[in-house]
Amino acid sequence: MALDQPTVSLIVGIGLLLQACVIGAFLVFVRRYQGIRCFLLGTIGLGLGFLIQALLPASSLIATTASYIVLLSGLFGLSNGILRFIGANNSARIYGFSWLLVVGLLSASAWWWAAPSLIISLAMLMGSVGMAYTAIRVWFQRTIPYQSASRLLAIALGLKIALVVAGLSYGWYRYAWPSVASLQVGYSVLILLLSLLWTGGFGVMITQRLQCDLSALASVDVLTGLANRRAINDYLEQAMAKWRRNQQGFAVIMLDIDSFKQINDRYGHHAGDMVLRHIGLVLSEQVRINDLIGRWGGEEFLLIVDAATVQQASFLAERLRQAIQHQPTIWCEQAIQHTVSIGIAVCGWHGFNETQLLTAADLALYEAKETGKNRWVVYERHMLNQLETGVAINNEDLVFDVDSSIYA
């Protein structure tokens, strides 16, 4: 038994509203993501547009025009939501102006020609133009980490455009314009089928983004926004593997804020947190984008930098020391002066695995603390005598190329 146009529109409208419930569930749990609310409102707009078609007389020009204005508003909401979600630059004013233009064109066409089939065709074409713009922006957005889901969404939007244009072109070519009911039924079924794809794609994008954010939270220090100890260890393993493959050298630089307990006692722990954040920012400004900066623990920071020789690492360490000393933290209109002690270990010179490098850098840092603070120290063999009993490290694997390790 063939379904008539109102029944098809009713089924499609209910289906879209059910999809809106799914998007609404995402919104409850991940409200901080931009674009989900707009996508939800757009899906609701599409559903309401089809319900208007199902409940109002199909022969009414006003009902047809109103339903397609609501449908196009829903498509605009979908486009705006998708672009907001992926972080594409889009202006609310542009969308507002475009929506007013669409409403004006449909209203003027309805008043001038009074042809429902023309209104439907014009609405389908204008909706396809908006979807084409969105699909192109999504497809070429290279910076998002959920490319596979975004590509699925772009393909769904592209299919909608292609099928609409192909259907209308066929009608024009055959000079056999479909009836209003045929246009509405065809467009309804098309929207229902493709909405499953773009709603599914959008849901997968939300899920993948949430997974990326949770993964980032697991590797980021909450206070400073730098890498945490887990991320540092992972990066160090990768750097060691790269060094073993192609001898690409690097250095481990460990920093400790001098007299940090006194800062906390004098200014308070909130001021101490501000000092940690400020020093993390200063360090970030001094290193290259490929270098890793992380909070090792407490008031200690650790850097893994592209420095193949002791001289390169020492030059960077001195630059870091001066930058931190000359850029105090401003707290309640007070300048909190601070300095750091630094330990340096270079891969291939001071260790051949992660444990050796971290131990060497830690011992050099200890030496800097013991010999006056506010200085940097390159690891030397004699510092092994400071290791506690039971610490496993192979002395034969540690080699050096410097005679003096303490610098003011």
- Catalytic, 299? Answer yes
Which residue, among 59, 74, 67, 65, has the nearest Cα to 10 in the 3D structure?
67
The whole-angstrom separation of Cα 343 and Cα 364 is 4
Active-site hit among 237, 299, 318, 354: 299
Half-sphere exposure of 325 (CA within 13 A, CB side): 15
- DSSP H or E segment with residue 332: none
Question: Helix crossing, 61-85 with 116-139: angle to 10°?
Answer: 0
At position 261, the amino acid (one-letter code) is K
Are 16 and 47 in contact by the 8 Å Cβ rule? The answer is yes
| Residue 256 burial (C-beta neighbours within 10 Å; 0-12, 13-18, 19+) | buried
Please state the φ and ψ torsions of residue 407, each to the nearest 5 degrees. Answer: -130, 140
> Between the CA of residue 330 and those of 267, 319, 337, 338, what are the distances in Å?
11, 21, 9, 11
Contacts of 127 (CB under 8 A, 6+ apart): 71, 72, 75, 164
The whole-angstrom separation of Cα 238 and Cα 216 is 17
Report the DSSP beta bridge partners of residue 256.
Answer: 300, 341
Rg over CA atoms, the chain: 32
E strands of 298-379, at which residues?
A: 300-305, 329-331, 334-336, 340-346, 376-378
Report the DSSP beta bridge partners of residue 346.
Answer: 251
Give one word for 311, left, alpha or beta, with left for phi > 0 and alpha for psi -120 to 50. alpha
**Joined tokens for residue 233:** 């260890």
The whole-angstrom separation of Cα 321 and Cα 258 is 11
Q: Which residues are catalytic?
A: 299
